[in-house]
Structure 1
Amino acid sequence: MDVRQSIHSAHAKTLDTQGLRNEFLVEKVFIADEYTMVYSHIDRIIVGGIMP
């Protein structure tokens, strides 16, 4: 499980597009023969995917 920590709003304002993507985008949710999970402290959610 990937755990994402929250970042300070002042720091988020300084990020460019790639920086924002690195901090917030969840990619590769569905990977063949694996399960993925991301826990975000920002929204207090777990995002996951399972693919046979």
Structure 2
Amino acid sequence: AQVFINVIDVDEPPVFNQTEYKFSIYEGPFKNPIIGAVSAKDPDEAAYKIR
């Protein structure tokens, strides 16, 4: 299966460390496996910070 996630922002788009991420998992009796992690920074964060 393939999963595509599009992240869209109104002002400035998030900045990711990579342009594309690929993760693989083998079939098996896994319970709640962590397949991968993605992180990004939001350039708007300081201007629109909610307290």
**Alignment TM-score, normalising by the size of structure 2:** 0.24
**Alignment TM-score, normalising by the size of structure 1:** 0.24
Higher strand share: 1
Higher helix share: 1
